[in-house]
Amino acid sequence: MKRSIKSVFNKKNKKKIICLTSYSYNYTKIIDDLVDVVLVGDSMSNVLYGMDSTRTIDDQIMINHATAVKKAAEKSLVFFDLPYNKDFSESNTVKRVLSIIKKTSCDGVKIEGNTELEDVIKYLKKKKVPVMAHLGLQPQKFSSTKKFKIYGKKKEDLNKIISDSLCLEKAGAVSILLEGMLTKIAKQVTTVLAIPTIGIGASEFCDGQILVSEDMLGMYGNNHPKFVKRYDDLSKNIKIAVKKYSKEVNNSKFPNKKFRYD
């Protein structure tokens, strides 16, 4: 059965919300019935396109990937990251979100930003577009992943993020993603909100978790953030398979009679 916004985001204090990223049809097919939310993240800029910033993904690239993911998702909800744009005005932001939703049929959008998103979220709620807000470390604010800083080390950070999160909750956000922050900050934000928090590098106290699939599956060897637990080592397994394939080709063991047309 297809998950609904209500069934997923009403899980607060009941059951954890499971989320992962995906950018392709085939991978989405694999994880579809195992997760609640698939995020077509702008992290594809790093893990697919080899860029050092998430700012390089534009709306058309997002549309291409989100369309493929949504086509494969029969059970999970599909949210997409609103790509970075220099024009962050309310009118342009709303226009872009509605355009991508129309072209992809995604179930919702994740938007990085603070209280400046209040009116955007209110308007999108009227248009029945679910919004996942994104607070804490916001990658689109940085030109390079090397410049990322953990959120919550300044005295004013706690009061600000609580104020921002309550504002966005009141505006109509269905959830708030908390990224790269001190445990005590994430825990307090999760406690004060009625809507669920989704954590990435924000402790186990959030109502749900998300990871970049390529990180979680070990596609980069040992090169991954501190908060990532590797549940497999696909980079190692892929190398083993390719070496075996190469050896069999060189030894004329592949293709053999089983794999040819006589």
pLDDT (tens, 9 = 90+) of the chain, 262 residues, equals: 899 999 999 999 899 999 999 999 999 999 999 999 999 999 999 999 999 999 999 999 999 999 999 999 999 999 999 999 999 999 999 999 999 999 999 999 999 999 999 999 999 999 999 999 999 999 999 866 667 889 888 989 999 999 999 999 999 999 999 999 999 999 999 999 999 999 999 999 999 999 999 999 999 767 778 899 999 999 999 999 999 999 999 999 999 999 999 9
User: Which pLDDT does position 75 carry in this prediction?
Assistant: 99
Q: How many CB atoms lie within 10 A of CB 33?
A: 12
Other C-beta atoms closer than 10 Å to the C-beta of 209 total 19
Q: Are residues 177 and 252 in the same domain?
A: no
**Catalytic residue (choose from 116, 179, 214, 248):** 179
pTM of the model: 0.96
> Same domain for 183 and 253?
no
Residue 260 sits in which domain range? 234-262
- Specify whether 107 is located in the same domain as 30: yes
Residues 102 and 139 placed together within one structural domain of the fold: yes
Q: Is 179 a catalytic residue?
A: yes
Same-domain status, 224 and 239: no
Are the CB atoms for 99 and 59 separated by under 8 Å? yes
Task: Supply the pLDDT for residue 22.
Answer: 99
Would you say 85 and 92 are in contact if contact means Cβ atoms under 8 Å apart? yes
